[in-house]
Amino acid sequence: MAKFLSDVAVRNAKAKDKPYKKMDRDGLYLFVKKTKKGVGKYWRFDYSFNKKRKTLSIGKYPIISLSTARERLLDAKRLLEQGIDPSIHKQMQRAATQEKYANTFEAVANEWYLKFKDTWSEKHAKRIISYLERDVYPWIGALPIDTIEAGTHIIPVIERVADRGAIDAARRVKGFIQQVFSYAVTKKKVQLNPAKSIELSLILPPQVKKHFATITDPIKVGELMRSIDGYNGSLVVRCALKLSPLVMLRPKELRQAEWSEIDFATATWTIPAKRMKNRKHIKQANLEADQHIVPLSKQALNVLQELYPLTGRWKYIFPSARGKSRSMSENAVRVALRTMGYTNDDITPHGFRAMASSMLNEMGKWNPDAIERQLSHKDKNIIRRSYNHAQHLEERREMLQFWADYLDELKQGAEIIPLQTSQ
């Protein structure tokens, strides 16, 4: 009676000086050899196809058990009965599996992400991959991208995010999915972009625009200015606090300021287009129209001159406490405000812009276009934008000096100037 292999015999098989075979039944055998880790055991099957001697690798023990190896042997023999070479069949299955994985949503999304991540800010890149890994991949990541449908797959992903109250995040997730599909269409992995047809207004509650908390009561503004003067933290943060209400800039534009942008002789701060919001991808011809000029009041110049001896040797006006090669943390001014007793509901770093905009507009003394231009609210019409850039510069210089003087009067507790003034 033929003696077949047992689980114990396979488990106890030892390596010898030379590789050897332990035969099972029907042509199946265990190939045993020495490896760097000790002993390697491999299931194999020798067969003949088209009069050629061939060997089918069935798998490695113990990943493939004896019983599984026998099942795969029977599969191979069925293929031979059908005139199919089991080794070629195995190669084709592997290729199909690899192709299938290469075209899953997760694989295509990762390909898109790696291709473009260097064109994004570090913060934006981290946000994208975080949303994909947390909110998208667990649900549709493993699906072949060409099988994903808007109603069946994408909308439930968006709604799942919205159900936790993260409406803005749901909109971002939809946008990232749409960008992945746009890339897939370009790469001919899919024919259509199913995310493009999704109308968010039909599945998400309306987006309520949130205004940044600010202070517009003149008495309370005066209190805030005195609190800033009395701030006893680092000089860098104190100067950032003092400059924030004077220049009407976004917090990021201020904290990433570079000394090379400041012209003390002309009292002008010229911020290049690449640093302004939504202006990273611009045509060379529009550089002048897209740069942002901030006329500096005497008070703003005093702040910069006070700080120059400390940080003027470095790139950034407000360098990070952790290293002078990078700018101040985005939370530095916010934390300083909290230290001074102001909550997020009182004022945020972005609220200094809203303070200036609201109060200057209420005064009725200044051209609204000049205020908008100083806020760097971009006009989509390039010709008009260039015109406004030149037309309102002197008015903006006068306006910012008036604003700085007004804040000083409020800080000193002077009689409050009525907001409504004649043109």
Find out whether 211 and 348 touch, Cβ atoms under 8 Å.
Answer: no
From 234, 229, 228, select the one nearest 321 (Cα to Cα).
234
- Residues classed as catalytic: 250, 277, 350, 353, 377, 387
Burial class (CB in 10 A: 0-12, 13-18, 19+), 307: buried
Helix (H) or strand (E) holding 32: strand 28-35
Helix (H) or strand (E) holding 386: helix 382-391
Residue that is written with structure tokens 């968010």 in the block: 200
Burial class (CB in 10 A: 0-12, 13-18, 19+), 421: exposed
Mapped onto helix, strand or coil, the DSSP state of residue 82 is: coil
The torsion angles phi and psi of 102, rounded to 5 degrees, stand at: -65, -20
Q: Which residues contact 152 (CB under 8 A, 6 or more apart)?
A: none
